[in-house]
Amino acid sequence: MGSKAISKLSDGISQDLFEFAGYDEEEAKRAGYSNYSYWRSTWQVFIKNRVALVLLILMTTVLVFTLIQPYLPNQKLPTKIYIDESTGMQLSNHKPDSEFWFGTNSIGQDIWARIWSGTRTSLLIGLAVGFFEALVGITVGAMWGYIRPLDRPITEVYNVINNVPKTIILILLTYIMRPGLGTMIFAMCMTGWINMARFVRNLIIIIRDREYNLASKCLGTPTRRIITKNLLPYLVSVIMLRMALAIPLAIGYEVFLTYIGLGLPVSIPSLGNLINEGRLLMMAPSLRYQLIFPALVLSIITISFYVMGNVFSDAADPRNHV
Amino acid sequence: MKKLLVLMLILMLALTGCWSGGTDQPTDGDETGVEEPSSVPKEFTWTYSGEITTLNYLVTASTNEFGVAANLVDSLIDYDRYGVVQPALATEWTTSDDGLVWTFKIREGVKWVTHEGIEYAEVTAQDFVDAAEYLLDSTNESKTANIFYSVIKNAEEYYNGDITDFSQVGVKAVDKHTLEYTLKQPTPYFLSMLNYVAFFPVNGQFLEEVGDRFGTDHKNFLYNGAFIMEIFEPQTRRILVKNENYWDKDNIFLTKINYLYNKESATLAPELFARGEIDYAAIPSSIIDEWMKDSKKKEMVRPNRTSFYTYFYALNFDPKFDEQYEPDNWKIAVNNKNFRKSLFHALDRKAAMLTAEPYNPEQKLSNTITPRNFVSIGGSDYTQIGKLNDFTTTDSFNKTKAVEYKEKAMEELQGNANFPVIVYMPYNSGSTEWANRAQVIEQQMENLLGKDYIDIVIAAKPPTNFLSENRRNGNYAFLEANWGPDYADPETYTGPFYPGGTYNFPEFVEGYTEANGEKSYTNLVDTAKAEVLDIAKRYELFADAEAFLIEEAFVIPYALGGGGYSASRLNPFESQYSPFGVSAERFKGQHLLEKPMNTEQYHEEREAWEKAREKALK
Amino acid sequence: MLKYSIKRLLQSLVTLFIIITIVFLLMRLMPEEGYFGDEFDKLDVAQREAILASMGLRDPIHIQLGNFYKDLFSGDLGTSIIYRPKVPITEIIADKLPYSLYFGLVAMGISLLAGIPLGALMARSKNKLWDKLGTGYIVFINAVPAAVYFLFLQLYVTDIFKLPILFRPDKPVSWILPAISMALGSTAHYAMWMRRYMVDEINKDYVRLARAKGLRNQTIMLKHVFRNAFVPMAQYLPTSLLFTIAGSIYIESLYSIPGMGGLLVDVIQRQDNSLVQALVLIFSSIGIFGLFLGDILMAIFDPRINLQKKEGAR
């Protein structure tokens, strides 16, 4: 066909060069289809970052390990007091060795077991509080920011809740309920969501009057749809970072509560009270391992969530998806 | 970035400069000009972690607070370093034949001075009457009024408003320098009570002048004691300087005392001491090993004396705790003497003490409720009198006996009580040591006696309202409790166990009822209380009563307060010694050591002191 | 704007009133033993009753509340009952406020001056050296518990530079370390969020357009990116001062600074009702006013934000 010289354009057009295409529904769909999926792309960008991936695997491992650790062979109980055979007394402040991997504390409990038990407690607090904060905080915050008639009343409620000192509520709570995990989680949830709500509200106020939202509104898009489809996706990246930080923040808050004497009882190990016990030993270099190990675990968890949060929020921004 | 840094620094320095320029602080010692040029100023600096709320010594009952006031205001009597009564504001005293009227001669020429050291008035007998009137006015919220009205005639009636005429209350200024107290009933230990803040004087005219502000700071305060508070900055520092008008100033060897506030004192003070910034630091038990192993620091640390706070484990005879812990079953068990004795001998007190004092746990253990060296008669210590002597030197922990009693108890209780007996033991979650101790005791006793016999359930309870919710309500089976003395007489240690006490309610014990319908212990104490003239007899009767409590294992004596270790440039054996009252808080008679005392020196000094004391008391 | 401001301020007063009433009632729910602390055991019943009555706690609750309002509206905050009995609350606060303000302002100044540029720098050199260094710092501050690194700094920095361990009002050199320590956390906080917002902003279309137009990078960063990114930060500035003051509890206890940091927690635990009420009044006034000021600041930085609600105005 190509070898044939064409002297005149119309001459070269022969019927057999064309044929009618039939209507193919599948093909038609494909023309309008891109295989772009928001979450898949986010995931792809996320795992491109090696560090984040490693940390994700690490955190998953830690999480799994804290859950199965008590069932592994040769593990010690976190609250059992070990006795020194030679004196018949508690094996206190025993340095780390092959038997007690992280040593023992002042009354002869195994720090390795206590740390994992404590990590379990603290992660549970962190996850529960973080999840609750996100759920309630985002819902309330979005409504607060977008629905103008609600702005005033919620702002007033916010002002009231935010300004009644948490300590009063915490003391009354521990007075009414017994100190323990449930109380701690409940107390943190009671007081924590409000900041998330305000954070979301501020972001929404900033973008709600942008032109595309006005356009949507003019076109009669229902409020719920504007919030969920126009506003929230825009905020995913920042909200993810905030959530990732909520977990270490909750753990940090637990340390603080322990510091002012409203924490968990020592018989329930948590990273908070492990660190607080260890703090008192800062002045004794040979005993510092009792501070360093729990602080290290806490740091690793915090760093992981922080870095993952940052990378994920970068990845969640569609403009970074290519 | 660099510019920014420079800017930052400038800003900061500027602000700092402005700030410190604005406040006029008197700078260190050399300007005060009150010292004699001949003597080298002896300054003592230390840190404290609990701020005082008031200087008003007529209101407070906290040692922390009256400890400061005790150095600013003198009492009628004082104690020397061996615990012998010495005249102070009272030069001499007499008692009427019926023991009801005490007359004191007030020292002449003692002056009240203001915080600037300016003379305000003379100390007279009327000052003690004015103080009593203030104390007994319930709107002044005095927390020591009850100590006063427990002995003084008509004082309680006046406090409660049953009588309104103050002249009927048993305190009178006969003349300018003669003071007379009339008691409700003969009280052999009355003299020791005069060393307490409830019996301190106050100048009535000044009180009227400052009104509600009395004692709120160093300016609204009058001084007649060894020191004057020159600076009072809450949460920062306070500075005491020697009172040059003090009647006994020759026995005051420190010229200035600096108290520096630090909330983290427990953590920071040892480091501050090691760097030479302060002269006294408590060394917490958690780092004592560290100091003992360091050749330099070892020379700076020594033990502390124990206090007169007593700690014991109480077995509850009126259990009111939750049904799930089977209070009725506990009630059956606790009424069995063998069961009680099995617990008594099973508690390894040394193991428990390791949670508070890992280095030298025996030092703080006590085998009696009343601490040793509290009172003595005829050269023998109270704990060595009568039947109490049987317990003083034996450790209650005895594995074989514990198991023996366990077997007897199991035999006797078979069919009546369910085994294992649940032993419900709450602890205060605010205290790490207590929490640790609860865990240690739980495992130690369960391991020794067997989990088929007892099941100790420890429960963390919040610090808020801990005692009301747990001890006073009888919401426990087995509990660590403590008690401190209110006067220097063994009677004070019967308070928790006498009917009406809110400790372990021994009046609810089954059996032990005597002919007059009272329980044995109540009768023993009542007999002892009635003996007010023959002190030797009185002490013996009280010792027998206490021995009964221990022998029947109603309580397990555990430990004494205080103790521990400190690094200090003061000699603890130079300080005034008194089992009760404020003398022990005073700096009178104390010298600043060139070098802190070490442990060996402490033990030497202690031995010498004990010998000298024995002589002094005879 | 003015009308809006006045209206909001008036509303704030109502809110304040509600808050203080709630706090008043909550404090009355506290256990009575708490008013006596360790001394409870040594008092007899008559004495306890007398003391509680004298504190006014035995009156019916509506009378107590009425008295409280009466004093409040006549501008009398009353006297402390436990913390420093009989001392006017104004006096207690007047002693402490200057320290708190000073440290709060300086710490905030330092952290703004260091944190915002650091965040901006990190965003500009995303994934390069500065970003990594900055991230390292932020991660460290967030990861290591404050209670631990504050103590570490205090011990070692004072040892190396021969500084006094404790704060002394009369020694300027002892002011530096606490102020810097206090700023460390918020510096990281500002840097982190500044970076986040700027990175988000850099990716926006208008920035690409500006680049395409050939604007200088410097101009884009300062005039567009920075300004837009600063808006959400502005909202937080006023309240963050409050946080710095109230959150300085560790620093204040470590260095013995007589500020207000731990005061609220302290007096709540000791149940000094009148002082708690006064502090809540002060802190919530600052808080509410701060939120309002933040909204105004935000509107100033970003004219697109419209705080007034006018039906159909746009």
Residue-wise pLDDT for A1-32, tens only, equals 445 555 565 666 677 777 777 777 777 666 66
Least CB-CB distance to C147: which of A205, A237, A279?
A279
Sort out which chain C residues have CB atoms less than 8 A from A169's CB and list them: 26
Residue A235 lies in a domain: yes
> What is the per-residue pLDDT across A266-296, written as a single tens digit (0 to 9) for each?
778 888 888 878 877 777 777 888 888 888 8
CATH number of the CATH domain containing A157: 1.10.3720.10
Which ipTM score applies to this complex? 0.81
Residue A299 lies in a domain: yes
Q: State the residue range of the domain holding A257.
A: 37-66+112-320
> Region B532-549: what's the mean pLDDT?
91
CB contact (8 A) between residue C268 and residue A167 = yes
Distance from CA of B61 to the nearest CA of C (A): 7
Say which amino acid occupies B320: K
Q: List Cβ neighbours of C279 (8 Å cut-off, separation of 6 or more).
A: C93, C260, C263, C264, C267
Say if strands B90-95 and B101-106 run parallel, antiparallel, or are unpaired: antiparallel
pLDDT of residue B8: 47
pLDDT of residue B33: 39
Confidence (pTM)? 0.81
CB contact (8 A) between residue B355 and residue A107 = yes
> What is the per-residue pLDDT across C107-129, written as a single tens digit (0 to 9) for each?
889 998 999 999 988 988 877 88
Residue A265 lies in a domain: yes
> Region B532-539: what's the mean pLDDT?
88
Query: Does the pLDDT value for residue B107 go beyond 90?
Result: yes
Query: Does the pLDDT value for residue A239 go beyond 70?
Result: yes
Structure-model confidence comparison of residues B74 and B265, the more confident one: B74
pLDDT-based confidence at residue B16 (cuts at 50, 70, 90) = very low
Q: How many residues can be counted in chain A?
A: 322
Which residue of chain C is at minimal alpha-carbon distance from A319? C203
Distance, in Å, from the CA atom of B330 to the CA atom of B325, rounded to the nearest integer, reads: 9
Structure-model confidence comparison of residues B255 and C55, the more confident one: B255
> Region B393-398: what's the mean pLDDT?
89
Which residue of chain C is at minimal alpha-carbon distance from B261? C256
Q: Give the Cβ contact number of residue B364 at 10 Å.
A: 22
Q: Give the Cβ contact number of residue B517 at 10 Å.
A: 8
A147 touches C: beta carbon within 8 Å = no
For A98, list phi and psi in degrees, rounded to 5.
Answer: -70, -25
The count of C-alpha atoms lying within 13 angstroms of the C-alpha of B329, restricted to the half-sphere facing its C-beta, is 18
CB contact (8 A) between residue C19 and residue A299 = no
Distance from CA of A278 to the nearest CA of C (A): 9
For C43, list phi and psi in degrees, rounded to 5.
Answer: -100, 150
> Region A214-231: what's the mean pLDDT?
84
Distance, in Å, from the CA atom of A232 to the CA atom of A226, rounded to the nearest integer, reads: 9
Mutation to test the A interface, candidates B286, B301, B441, B446, most A Cβ within 10 Å? B286
A165 touches C: beta carbon within 8 Å = yes
Measured CA to CA in angstroms, residue B337 lies from B388, C68, C294 at distances of 19, 56, 71
CATH number for domain C96-262, candidates 1.10.3720.10, 3.30.2040.10, 1.10.10.10, 3.40.190.10:
1.10.3720.10
Query: Would you list the DSSP string of A175-235?
Result: HHSPSSHHHHHHHHHHHHHHHHHHHHHHHHHHHHTSHHHHHHHHTT--HHHIIIIIIHHHH
Given a contact cutoff of 8 angstroms between Cβ atoms, the answer to whether B53 and C82 are in contact is yes
Total count of domains within chain A: 1
Measured CA to CA in angstroms, residue C33 lies from A81, B466, B476, C30, C150 at distances of 34, 9, 18, 9, 35
Sort out which chain B residues have CB atoms less than 8 A from A89's CB and list them: 350-351, 354
CB contact (8 A) between residue B436 and residue A107 = yes
Percent over 90 (pLDDT), chain A: 1
Residue A47 lies in a domain: yes
Which phi-psi region, left, alpha or beta, contains residue C220 (left: φ > 0; alpha: ψ -120 to 50)? alpha
> What is the per-residue pLDDT across A150-208, written as a single tens digit (0 to 9) for each?
888 888 888 888 777 777 777 777 677 766 788 888 878 877 788 888 888 888 887 88
CB contact (8 A) between residue A266 and residue B443 = no
Q: Note which residues in 68-107 of chain C have CB less than 8 A from chain A.
A: none
DSSP annotation of A77: P
pLDDT-based confidence at residue B405 (cuts at 50, 70, 90) = very high
pLDDT of residue C192: 86
Distance, in Å, from the CA atom of B543 to the CA atom of B614, rounded to the nearest integer, reads: 20
Residue A3 lies in a domain: no
CB contact (8 A) between residue B267 and residue A266 = no
Measured CA to CA in angstroms, residue B73 lies from A33, A146, B59, B584, C191 at distances of 92, 67, 14, 14, 56
Strand intervals (E) in B492-615 = 555-562, 565-568
The domains found in chain B, sorted by start residue, are 2-262+578-588 (3.40.190.10), 318-562 (3.10.105.10)
Query: Would you list the DSSP string of B324-340?
Result: GG-HHHHHHHHT-HHHH
Q: Which residue, chain included where needed, has tokens 């599948």?
A: A26
Distance from CA of B439 to the nearest CA of C (A): 24
Between helix C273-301 and helix A181-208 the angle, nearest 10°, is 30
Sort out which chain B residues have CB atoms less than 8 A from C106's CB and list them: 11-12, 15
> What is the per-residue pLDDT across B190-223, written as a single tens digit (0 to 9) for each?
999 999 999 999 999 999 999 889 999 999 999 9
CB contact (8 A) between residue B267 and residue C151 = yes
C256 touches A: beta carbon within 8 Å = no
Secondary structure (3-state) at A24? coil
> Region A239-244: what's the mean pLDDT?
75
Mean pLDDT rounded to a whole number for chain B: 87
pLDDT of residue A314: 79
Residue A100 lies in a domain: no
How many helices (DSSP H) and strands (DSSP E) are in chain C?
13, 0
Among B531, B492, B480, B216, CA closest to B375: B492
CB-defined contacts B:C, below 8 A:
150
Residue A142 lies in a domain: yes
Chain C contact partners (≥3 CB pairs within 8 A): A, B
- In angstroms, how far is CA C205 from the centroid of its own chain? 36
Least confident of B65-79, B161-175, C63-77, C238-252: C238-252
